[in-house]
Amino acid sequence: MANVGTKKLGQQGLCVSEQGLGCMGMSFLYGPPKPEQEMIDLIHYAVNRGVTFLDTSDMYGPETNEILLGKALKGIREKVQIATKFGITWANGEFGVSGDPAYVRAACEASLKRLDVDYIDLYYQHRVDTSVPIEATMGELKKLVEEGKIKYVGLSEASASTIRRAHAVHPITAVELEWSLWTRDSEAQIIPTCRELGIGIVTYSPLGRGFFASGAKLLESVTDYDYRKGSPRLQSENLEHNQALFQKLSEISSRKGCSPSQLALAWVQHQGNDVVPIPGTTKIKNLNDNIVSVSVHLSADDMKEIEAIFHVDAAAGGRSREEELQMSWMNSETPPYSTLH
């Protein structure tokens, strides 16, 4: 079995595996937390296969996913690139967002402790705080870079203008966003902006939160405690339409000699040398299947055929619940920095 290669992310020197591993589902959102030792074994297996770019967040658990990752990385810290995030708060049963400089520093210190590491390779603002100028948040992140506590800075779910303003304060190495066959809203402005500025692109949920692995059958394994149960695209009024899309994907993948999920992931990987997908999984078999997608070749004609089916507005239903979309790049404009002076 061939292992995963490496790729340069951004222009500041960060090198990561060309396919990463999203660790969220091991501890959070997709049903109950998975057995700790099994997840540690999975992470070790992934690293041995060359999947060394590991993505987590202080929000996953909350906090327990970082603790899990910290345990898994004992003795292999220098082999991996750790990406974690700050900015989503959880108190009294409600989500919030904070980009306050004092909070940024406190969150970083707490993540370093949970991960049990001296530095974080890539530190993202998970969601943009629209009450704090992005320049103020970035100013504190710049200090953390200068102190060696973080190596590189990233943004998640940020608009094109927010990315520009942030990048003017300190270079942004990567922008994390949802990009898949049925989520292509970033292509109009955000992707071109990243490329103009030399910013790497990290894509979460490249498999449509698992839909492109099994289509509507996904619902058979989704429990009441699984976030996806309430996903707009999996509701009855949208499911038939989206299942028809999956069926067309399956027909193409059959001709290509791969699975639908491998084809969907290969499509993301063919978007450019600046794109790194981070599919999540809790099973070694699925990890191996995802790695195979790196070697799936898609011609220009293949890409056109796929994109004719999965055009920008192809999917029925929103990519997230309405309250979550309010925290996405579509609502990430912050006050002008002049308001601080």
Give me the active site residues, please.
Answer: 60
Q: Quick one: tokens of 175?
A: 């922008």
Distance CA 320, CA 125 (A): 19
Is 80 in contact with 15 (CB distance < 8 Å)? Answer: no
> Measured on CA atoms in the order 23, 24, 30, 34, is the torsion positive or negative?
positive
The DSSP letter of residue 159 is -
Longest dimension (CA), the chain: 61
What is the residue-wise DSSP string for 214-265?
HGGGGGGG--TTBGGGG-GGGSHHHHHHHHHHHHHHHHHHHHHTS-HHHHHH
Distance CA 123, CA 174 (A): 9
What is the residue-wise DSSP string for 86-107?
E-EEEETTEEEE---HHHHHHH
**CA dihedral of 29, 30, 32, 35, whole degrees rounded to 10:** -110
Distance CA 228, CA 31 (A): 9
Q: Give the gyration radius of the chain's Cα atoms.
A: 19
